Amino acid sequence: MRTLLISLLFICICATALAQDAAETITRQSADGIQLVADWHAADSGAPVVLALHMLNSRRSAYEPLLPDLRAAGYAVLNVDMRGHGDSAGERDWPAAIADVGDWLAWLRAHDRVSDVGVALLGASIGANVAIISCAQQDICRGAVALSPGLDYRGTKPESALAEGLAGRAALLVAAHGDSGSANSVRQLFASASADVTARILPGRAHGTRLFDSDYAAASRMLLGWLGEHLPVHDE
């Protein structure tokens, strides 16, 4: 009987953990009528939110290795397929993708899924540029994490956002040394920024979310450390 009770307790604990980890798939229309899709990973009430934006020709699943650690640290996550990628419809239109981020933040507010603690935007490659620019436009965004940003990816230029719109807020800029285009961009963006900017040049050649494939432990520790400083989770 004791063994049976222990087994049932173990099953209940596992079922609870699985329920907590299960994502809610959100499908909604953009302001211009495009179907957009994201996964919502809930956290405790009042938790800060990380909104994740993938690379060009990628999709939201690129962040799956990072999700358990973000969740374990107490963050809610909105993991987005940008328009024209993954399960989201439409053409690849970067000004529209920036507007979509504003719409997603409005959706978070409207559904009481973000508190006064705020949001951080996490982006990779062109998603990094979109994250910086979008964060600068939205007061609820406390800071942006940019993995392998560029000075000009398909017309998205984040330099003025770092110099002006993000003043008084924060950003983490990351690139690999061997990814020379992004590494040089990080150096220039850091030099021109007026925000509280941390810049890191890592070993290797990995780009964007592939930084997690190259050295997951170092990349995730750096990212979670920055989030803990600039968007801390407060226990109730």
Pick the CATH number of 24-230 from 3.40.50.11810, 3.40.50.10150, 3.90.180.10, 3.40.50.1820: 3.40.50.1820
Break the chain into its structural domains and give their ranges. Answer: 24-230
Q: How far apart are CA 217 and CA 67, in angstroms?
A: 13
pLDDT of residue 20: 46
Which residues make beta-bridge pairs with 26? 38
- Biggest CA pair distance of the chain: 68
Report whether 150 contacts 176 (CB < 8 A).
Answer: no
Nearest to 189 by CA among 99, 129, 236: 129
pTM for the model? 0.90
- Identify which has the larger pLDDT, 187 or 235: 187
**Residues, the chain, total?**
236
pLDDT single digits (tens) 150-184? 999 999 999 999 999 998 899 999 999 999 999 99
Rounded to a whole number of angstroms, the CA Rg of the chain reads 18
44 has pLDDT over 50: yes
Q: What is the pLDDT of residues 77-91, one digit of tens each?
A: 999 999 999 999 999
Per-residue confidence band for 15, with pLDDT thresholds at 50, 70 and 90:
very low
Split at pLDDT 50, 70, 90, the class of 21 is: low
